[in-house]
């Protein structure tokens, strides 16, 4: 439905200069179901939701927040969203529209007491695993206030270096499975297109990618949760990962460590639990600045991991010094009303109820 709607809207604008919206496409659904009777075998709600998602994608494009929508592939992730009128939830079992039996769900976590789901999204990933995400209103209690602040310096050798001197290593999940992935991709490339063996080889490649993704996401969630629980104020750098991966020598390592996702988790968890996340200016020279006397070096190449301040003679570890400077800069921005992320008392979140996964 998403691809049909995208094709219909694109052709209408290209050939007739006509702009179609959700209501225009929804009015075509009765005739479309007559032409394709199998569309009536499923609930009409996910079909309509697909068109709404397409409408939102075009809205993001016209407002400059995204690129022009592209067609979806069968081999990639698939999803179906059910509104509140298209499923039954009795507190224990979930029955979707046009289904007689409840879904056999291995719950990731229990839903809040007396929760009233507003929507349910069923997702199938590229390895044919099925997940159910249930959206509910949940009042998240703030954690007790602690008198601790921390600055985080994100790196490759050590994923995170804290201003306390603690170093959190980089597991390098992609690098560990890179040889297995390359071997599976070579075998996939040699299979005949359209054959069953090629599809089996594709699944093997997809399972390796999913294994890397799940392990990285689990590691990021555990680390971000620990940092948020232990500190009241968290100061990080505003990194432009999209531009940083243009460096051909560091692109693979930067993508493997996952800075962007880690900072995103810190941001929403800080809002949930009443913490303050401060993002400092991306051009602040945290590595080149002496945390003792604030002297700034003219240059500091990446291969220099320790340096001596020419003004005060203090010996600095590059990453720990940068984390201390990030903390000081973040606290000053917090006091002066700088780049501080607001805290919300009540947050709306999706409670993922999935087997073997922790993402929503």
Q: What is the pLDDT of residue 8?
A: 95
pLDDT at residue 59, rounded to an integer = 95
Give the predicted TM-score (pTM) of the model: 0.82
Q: What is the mean pLDDT of residues 123-147?
A: 91
Confidence of residue 305 (pLDDT cuts 50, 70, 90): confident
User: Is the pLDDT assigned to residue 345 strictly greater than 60?
Assistant: no
Query: Looking at the chain, how many residues does it have?
Result: 360
* Same-domain status, 88 and 131: yes
pLDDT confidence of 336, banded at 50, 70, 90?
low
Quick check: 348 pLDDT over 80? no
Strands 130-137 and 348-353: antiparallel
Same domain, 81 and 55: no
Average pLDDT over residues 129-154: 91
Note if 298 is an active site residue. no
Tell me the pLDDT tens digit for each residue of 210-260: 999 999 999 999 999 999 999 999 999 888 888 888 888 889 999 999 999
Residue 205 lies in a domain: no
Residues 220 and 268 sit within 8 Å (Cβ to Cβ): no
User: Helix or strand or coil: residue 248?
Assistant: coil
Residues 130 and 267 in one domain: no
Q: Are residues 153 and 291 both part of a single domain?
A: yes
Band of residue 92 on the pLDDT scale cut at 50, 70, 90: confident
Are 33 and 39 contacting, i.e. CB atoms less than 8 angstroms apart? Answer: yes
Same domain as 159, residue 65? no
In our burial notation (b when 16+ CB lie closer than 10 A, e otherwise), range 281-319 reads eeebebbbbbbeeeeeeeeeeeeeeebebeeeeeebebb
- Single out the catalytic residue among 55, 153, 256, 354: 153
* Owning domain of residue 79: 75-139+345-360
Looking at the fold, whether 164 and 285 belong to one and the same domain comes out as yes
Nearest-angstrom CA–CA distance, 266 and 341: 11
> Does 164 lie in the same domain as 117?
no
Q: Could you tell me if residue 65 is inside a domain?
A: yes
Is 125 noted as a catalytic residue in this protein?
Answer: no
90 inside domain:
yes
Q: Which one of 55, 256, 267, 319 is the catalytic residue? A: 319
- pLDDT value at residue 111: 85
How many whole angstroms separate alpha carbon 353 and alpha carbon 359?
A: 9
Between 13 and 110, residue with greater pLDDT: 13
- Of the chain, the percentage scoring pLDDT greater than 90 comes to 60
CA distance 90 to 81: 19
Q: What is the mean pLDDT of residues 151-175?
A: 91
Task: Check whether 95 has a pLDDT greater than 70.
Answer: yes
Q: Which of 158, 131, 270, 288 is nearest to 214 (CA)?
A: 131
Q: Other C-beta atoms within 10 Å of 33: how many? A: 14
340 SS3 class = strand
pLDDT score recorded for residue 231:
93
- Specify the CATH number for the domain of residue 256: 3.30.420
Domain count for the chain? 3
Mean pLDDT of the 282-294 span: 86
| The pLDDT of residue 123 | 95
**Count of beta carbons in the 10 Å neighbourhood of residue 72:** 15
Q: Categorize the per-residue pLDDT at 334 as very low, low, confident or very high, splitting at 50, 70 and 90.
A: low
Q: Quick one: pLDDT at residue 66?
A: 92
Q: Is residue 192, in this structure, part of any structural domain at all? A: no
134/274 same-domain check = no
Residue where a domain terminates, one of 30, 50, 72: 72
- As a whole number, the mean pLDDT across the chain is 87
User: Does residue 77 register a pLDDT over 60?
Assistant: yes
Does 319 participate in catalysis according to the annotation?
Answer: yes
pLDDT of residue 60: 95
Please indicate, yes or no, if residue 199 is contained in any of the structural domains.
no
DSSP state of 193: T
Strands 167-169 vs 233-237: parallel, antiparallel or unpaired: unpaired
Given this model, what pLDDT does residue 335 score? 57
Q: Do residues 62 and 165 both lie within one domain?
A: no
* Domain assignment of residue 2, yes or no: yes
For residues 288-305, give the mean pLDDT: 85
pLDDT at residue 355 in the model = 38
Mean pLDDT computed over 38-51: 92
- Same domain, residue pair 339 and 360: no
Neighbours of 212 (CB within 10 A): 19
Both tokens of residue 17? 């200069």
Q: Given the structure tokens 């007739």, which residue do they identify? A: 16
Domain boundary among 32, 51, 72: 72
Catalytic residue among 237, 267, 329, 354: 237
Per-position DSSP letters for 81-133, written without gaps between them: EEEGGGEEE-SS-EEETT-SS------SSPPPTT---SEEEEEE-TTS-EEEE
In a domain, 246, yes or no: yes
Sheet of 119-124: strand order equals: 78-83, 119-124, 130-137, 348-353
Buried b (16+ CB within 10 A) or exposed e, 92-110: eebebeeeeeeeebeebee
Q: 185 to each of 8, 155, 210, how far by Cα in Å?
A: 35, 29, 14
Mark whether 274 and 161 lie in a shared domain.
yes
The answer to the question of residue 206 being in a domain is no
251 touches 257 (CB < 8 A): no
Q: Do 226 and 340 fall into the same domain?
A: yes
């Amino acid at each position: 439905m998403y691809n049909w709607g995208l094709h219909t809207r694109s052709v209408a604008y290209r050939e007739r200069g006509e702009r179609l919206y959700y209501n225009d496409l929804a009015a075509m659904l009765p005739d479309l179901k007559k032409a394709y009777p199998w569309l009536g075998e499923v609930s009409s709600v996910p079909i309509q939701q697909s068109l709404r998602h397409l409408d939102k994608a075009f809205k993001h494009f016209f407002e400059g927040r995204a690129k022009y929508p592209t067609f979806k592939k069968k081999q990639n992730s698939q999803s179906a969203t059910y509104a509140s009128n298209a499923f039954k939830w009795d507190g224990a079992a979930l029955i979707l529209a046009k289904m007689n039996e409840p879904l056999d769900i291995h719950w990731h976590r229990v839903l809040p007491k007396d929760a009233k789901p507003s929507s349910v999204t069923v997702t199938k990933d590229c390895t044919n695993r099925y997940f159910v995400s249930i959206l509910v209103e949940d009042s998240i209690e703030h954690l007790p206030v602690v008198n601790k602040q921390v600055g985080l310096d994100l790196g490759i050798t050590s994923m995170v270096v804290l201003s306390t001197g603690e170093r959190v290593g980089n597991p390098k999940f992609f690098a560990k499975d890179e040889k297995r992935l390359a071997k599976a991709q070579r075998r996939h490339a040699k299979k005949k297109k359209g054959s069953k063996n090629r599809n089996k080889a594709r699944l093997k490649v997809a399972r390796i990618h999913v294994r890397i993704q799940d392990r990285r996401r689990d590691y990021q969630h555990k680390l971000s949760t620990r940092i948020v629980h232990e500190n009241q104020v968290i100061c990080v750098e505003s990194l432009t990962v999209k531009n940083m991966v243009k460096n051909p020598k560091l692109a693979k390592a930067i993508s493997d460590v996952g800075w962007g996702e880690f900072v995103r988790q810190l941001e929403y968890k800080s809002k949930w639990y009443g913490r303050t996340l401060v993002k400092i200016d991306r051009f602040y020279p945290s590595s080149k600045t002496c945390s003792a006397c604030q002297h700034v070096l003219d240059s500091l190449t990446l291969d220099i991991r320790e340096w001596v301040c020419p003004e005060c003679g203090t010996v600095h570890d590059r990453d720990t010094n940068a984390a201390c400077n990030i903390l000081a800069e973040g606290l000053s921005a917090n006091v002066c009303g700088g780049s501080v992320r607001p805290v919300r008392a009540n947050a709306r979140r999706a409670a993922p109820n999935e087997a073997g996964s922790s993402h929503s």
